[in-house]
A and B are shown apart, each in its own frame.
Chain A
Amino acid sequence: MNNEQKVDVKALQKQMQRRVRRRNNIDAWILMLPMVLILYLFVWRPTVLGGVWSFFDMKAYTVDEFCGFDNFRKVITHTQFLPMLWNTVQYVFWSLIIGFLPPLFIAIMINEIIHFKGGFRVLIYIPAVIPGIAAMLMWYFIYYPDQTGLLNMLLGKLGMDPYTWLNDPNFAIIGIVIFMTWKGFAGTMLLYYASLQGVSVELYEAALIDGAGPFKRLWHVTRPAIEGLLLLNLVRQIIGVFQTMEQPLAMTGGGPNGASTTLSYQLYQYGFNSGGKSTGQAMALGVIIFMILIVFTIFYFWLNKKVESRY
């Protein structure tokens, strides 16, 4: 009798547990449902369909018939494909030269500041909260090539002739990268700053006692603490800048004569400004960019794992 009761209790317990788990499961799914739906509709479905449709002839936005690699052939044999790829690489290159280290320096500087630290942090973060298009237009006028441009006004005060800025094919990409750095460095700076805050003060004190100067302290104490983050940001920046599109769209229209056009900008042109004739090519180019970036992304995840395991 006792035994039977025991069995019953166990069974009941199990049943209860199962019910609770099921309810938890249902609750969890209900909570996740809106997010999953949004992800499905706006990320997973378009990504997969874009990949599939890149092998189809598209009549405007309607799928026509299977065409194999024809869209890819058209994209790769487009006479501007290689120049655009080269432009994109130049964006990445200049963004690393111009934009990679400043956030770190500023983070270190803020970390060292004793008074008004919070104030500086807010002031420096301001560019990041200005709406994107407004900031682009602002810089468009900063770079404006006649005497009404801000930079040319400064040159004028110094008695120099106005410069053409974004109208100069050799400067257009650099100009846009300077803007992107100004707009985007604050977020990265905060990451570095947070990580710098985590460095134990005792380590600095010990280094001081050992007679290390500021640069030695930077190299031997600060660097090891943040180099993982630095590497991760490097890869993230490459991935991010490789997809530059809206800046040339708003600031130069891809010009002069295609000098600031990127692959993503061309994708946009294929997709929305080709009169529906190149929708298939837009998706093929999307796949190509995806393939290039997936290499960096895999490297990023591998690196991320390594970095995380260090802390």
Chain B
Amino acid sequence: MKAKKIISFILAISMIAIALSGCNNKANDKDEQGRTVFSISGYPTKEGTSKESFDRKVTKFNEENTDAVVVPDVWNFELKTFYAKAAGNQLPNVFDTRYTEVAQCIDSGYVADITDALKNRGYEGKFNPAVLDIVTKDGKIYGFPYDAALQGLAINTELFEKAGLMEADGTPKQPKDWNELAEFAVKIKEATGKAGFVFPTSDNVGGWIFTCLAWSFGVDFMEQGEDGKWKAIFNSPEAAEALSFIKDLKWKYDVLPANALINYDEYMKAYATGNAAMMIIDTAVVNNVSKYGMTPEQIGMMPIPAGPKGRVSLVAGSPYMFTAESTDDQIDAGLRYLEMSYNYNATNNFKEQKERSIQIALEENRLVGLKKFSVWDKDTESVKFESELIEKNQNANPNHVRLYNEFIENPDIEIRPEEPVCAQELYALLDGCIQEVLTNKDADCATLLDKAVSDFQSNYLDNLSY
């Protein structure tokens, strides 16, 4: 009797639990009036200009589009929560992510193929191919790229000034190649006592930046055989040379900070608080160092130095993606919403949104003055409008960002997407190699890379399931 009671109780609980776990708030894509309802990520939780601006945009969209309703969602993309929310059908239909996570989002099967939707809205041939490549897999487009930035060299102009590394007109000197960068770093360290250069080493950021540096040394990380299998090949003399360069920065030139465990936050902090004079980073991020108290006047930006095999950079930035469950109507409405802020035509909406976003940046004392690497084809109306707007409203010292802005007009550089498979795992292994050469004076770069290649091959490439 007692056992029966317990069993029936457990059964009842299981049913409630199953019912609970089966719930989801995936909105029906139509409301009572037949309008398409879709949600979008990134709704600010804090009261202030950004939230007001978001609200205004939402209201305007709902007014102008009588067949659609946008619902803001406070979730911001983070890979850790992305999968759980996706599996539970809790993602907003349209969400903002980063290029470095795109491959993982596509592989997971939780994002929609929007090739046809883009075609229907006339986007064919409109995007910059270098950017579109990042969100394309097997000929299908999975994202709407809206922001792109090339990795370059961010510098602290005050430290450059103190080290005598400014031209007479106030333009910072450009280290042409990595060796010259090391020489600059030594001068800065001697003149100011601060680290001349900072290189990240953990949370996969070190590996991410290292790939860029290694490409300029002529490193290939992996290759695909005729049978479709991937082979790790970065135990080459070129890779050893690139890793030795990092090692020399520590042990030969002694220009790095004492800490050898530098994650993304530490990386930003070292630069933004004036404890390191140079870092490799994309322009989008440099705009956001004001939270550490860095003023626009202190920021300088220039192209990435060249390696023995030339100058190579990586495109960083963000696309919007759509969840796999989104209906065609939701994707179409979502694209219309995105077009208000991101458009190849300089529409009135676009102009208004851009002007407002620049005003917000100025209010928050974020850097305005760096030209964008365009997601659109070169001669689009909106790019010209935005460039002029930035020039008109800049709070950066034009001399400090001149080298980068001139370069971005006509980038004579090889632009590469991230490594095609298991990029994050590769970065983690490279992080380990970098940490080892920075903490162990006697580390042998070639041996370390041999081990990393064999680990990468057997732990990841040989186990590829999708």
Contacts and interface: CB of A to CB of B under 8 A. Distances in A.
Contacts of A80: 455, 459
B398 interface: no
A254 B263 CA distance: 12
Interface stretch (B34-42, B103-111, B345-353, B378-386): B103-111
A59 B260 contact: no
Tell me the interface secondary structure of chain B in the complex.
helix
Nearest to B16: A37
A299 interface: no
Interface residues of A, number: 42
A300 to B, nearest CB: 27
A167 interface: yes
B260 A60 contact: no
B84 interface: yes
Contact of A79 (B108, B261, B455): B455
Given A45-B17, A167-B439, A276 B83 contact: yes
B259 A255 contact: no
A169 B107 contact: no
Interface stretch (A7-15, A126-134, A179-187, A267-275): A267-275
Interface in A55-70: 57, 59-62
A169 B439 contact: yes
Contacts of A45: 17
A301 interface: no
A36 B11 CA distance: 13
A51 interface: no
B257 interface: yes
B454 interface: yes
Nearest to B195: A146
A257 B443 CA distance: 12
A55 to B, nearest CB: 15
Contacts of B203: 253
Interface centre among A36, A57, A145, A269 (most CB of B within 10 A): A145
B107 A144 contact: no
B87 A146 contact: no
Q: What size tier do the contact residues of chain B reach?
A: 35 or more
A253 B440 CA distance: 18
A168 interface: yes
A70 to B, nearest CB: 9
A36 B466 CA distance: 39
A121 interface: no
B257 A146 contact: yes
Interface string A269-293: 1001111110100000000000000
A166 interface: yes
A78 B9 CA distance: 43
Contact of A37 (B17, B425, B439): B17
Interface in A83-101: none
Interface in B94-116: 101, 103-104, 107-110
B465 A276 contact: no
Given A60-B110, A255-B201, A168 B439 contact: yes
B86 A274 contact: no
A244 interface: no
Contacts of A120: none
B116 to A, nearest CB: 24
A40 interface: yes
Contact of B202 (A37, A164, A253, A269): A253
A50 interface: no
A102 interface: no
Contact of A167 (B16, B86, B259, B263): B259
Contacts of A276: 83, 104, 107-108
A62 B432 contact: no
B108 A59 contact: yes
B424 interface: yes
A118 interface: no
B458 interface: yes
Contacts of B422: 277
Interface string A8-39: 00000000000000000100010000001100
Nearest to A162: B258
A164 B439 contact: yes
A41 interface: yes
A291 to B, nearest CB: 22
Nearest to B101: A275
A276 B81 CA distance: 11
Given A59-B109, A60-B109, A275-B104, A253 B465 contact: no
B7 interface: no
B79 A273 contact: yes
Given A144-B259, A167-B261, A255 B424 contact: no
Contacts of B202: 253-255
Contacts of A166: 261
Contacts of B459: 78-80
A62 B87 contact: yes
Given A25-B5, A79-B458, 11 more contacts: A145-B259, A164-B439, A253-B203, A256-B261, A256-B436, A257-B433, A269-B428, A272-B79, A274-B424, A275-B424, A279-B83
Top 8 A-B pairs, shortest CB-CB distance: A275-B104, A61-B87, A146-B258, A253-B202, A60-B108, A256-B435, A257-B436, A257-B432
8 contacts: A36-B13, A37-B16, A59-B466, A167-B439, A169-B440, A255-B432, A257-B436, A276-B83
